[in-house]
Structure 1
Amino acid sequence: MAVVLALAGLLPFLLCTCGIVFFASGVPVPNLMMAFVFYGAMSLGFYGAVHWGLALEPAPVIVTTGADHTNRLRLALGVVPAFAGWVAAYTAFAWMPVAGVAILALAVPLLYLLERQGWRTGALPSGYMGLRLIVSAVTECCLLVVLVARLF
């Protein structure tokens, strides 16, 4: 179920990317770039929420030694992606949408790398990173395609 829902969660990225790339700027697709950036911001917040949820488990889910330190890191990793998403959304709204896309294009792989490091230390479930790799790769491809389409 998690795989199906995660892949379904990529549909807004894919649809917005296709709309941004294939429709000329004169086609009335109002605020498609903003919808794209806001969905990216919400996605970052969701990815962070996974870590928040792990930290709030009554007993350590995976890590048994150093759980307090791990939970502090999880709580931080639960908040920082949402903040990065907010910065991207606000930048897109207040300045220019493509700048918000650029911020997301930096935040998504950075979050993946941080999660991968946590996974290597045993702080994440074994199957989590495989799913996150797929979601992160597709998301990053969409972000980069939109950046290239709008900058060149």
Structure 2
Amino acid sequence: MNRLPFLAVLLGLAGLLPFVTLGGWIFLAGLFTPLPHLTLILLAYGACILSFLGAVHWGLAMERPDIITISGPSTRDRQRLLLGVCPSLWAWLCLCIGVLANMRAGYFLEIIGFAATFMIERAAWRQGALPPGYLPLRAVLTAVVIISLLMASLAPQNHYAL
């Protein structure tokens, strides 16, 4: 099977709705009026989704009943577990920096996190560690997320104050 189930594709695309609407709204309306709460909501949603991407890899590692053996997990499973934790920690850092220091910096760090996660997943996909239809969907989702976060980050800087 070279394609993901239709429901997975549909839900993946539905997850873009907050990025597209909030990113576009922050960029367009943010030129005229401050939208500090929307910027925080988008940053938090991005952090949640970035953490979710890590959870996908934990799920792939844990789907096999033999993950816990006497000899320990395989190299691939260790890589999946590591990839499962890193996006969550990065998302937490993005959110902390965005809220405590600079919202725009938080957005840019999230962009780096989404891009880096995709590049690592691409390498794993080439080694056969991911389902065949996973990477094309992730490429589209990642591109839209990055564009949305970029649009939000380009809104006037003085509109980021909470």
TM-score, shorter chain, exceeding 0.5: yes
Partner of 2:64: 58
Cα distance in structure 2, aligned partners of 1:75 and 1:122: 16
Q: What is the aligned length?
A: 145
Partner of 1:129: 135
Unaligned ranges ≥5, structure 2: 1-6, 67-72, 158-162
Offset at residue 147 of structure 1 (A): 2.4
Partner of 1:113: 119
* Matching of residue 143 in structure 1 with residue 149 in structure 2: yes
Residues 98 and 150, structure 1, Cα contact 8 Å, conserved in 2: no
What one-letter code is carried by the residue in structure 1 that aligns with 2:125? W
Higher RCO structure, 1 or 2 (CA under 8 Å, sep 6+): 2
Instruction: Trace 1:1-152 onto structure 2 (pairs within 5 A).
Output: 1-24=7-30, 27=33, 29-59=35-65, 68-150=74-156
Partner of 1:63: none
Unaligned ranges ≥5, structure 1: 61-66
What one-letter code is carried by the residue in structure 2 that aligns with 1:95? A
Offset at residue 24 of structure 1 (A): 3.4
Cα distance in structure 2, aligned partners of 1:24 and 1:129: 33
**1:90-149 per-position Cα deviation (integer Å, ceiling 9, x unaligned):** 111111111100101111111000000000001000000011011101001111222233
Tell me: CA distance 1:70–1:135, structure 2 relative to 1, closer, same or farther (3 Å). same
**1:66-96 per-position Cα deviation (integer Å, ceiling 9, x unaligned):** x700000000000100111000011111111
Cα distance in structure 1, aligned partners of 2:124 and 2:39: 32
Q: TM-score, normalised by structure 2?
A: 0.83
Cα distance in structure 2, aligned partners of 1:134 and 1:120: 17
Identity %: 38
What one-letter code is carried by the residue in structure 1 that aligns with 2:116? L
Cα distance in structure 1, aligned partners of 2:105 and 2:37: 15
Task: Tell me the secondary structure at the aligned position of residue 154 of structure 2.
Answer: helix
Cα distance in structure 1, aligned partners of 2:64 and 2:116: 28
Q: TM-score, normalised by structure 1?
A: 0.89
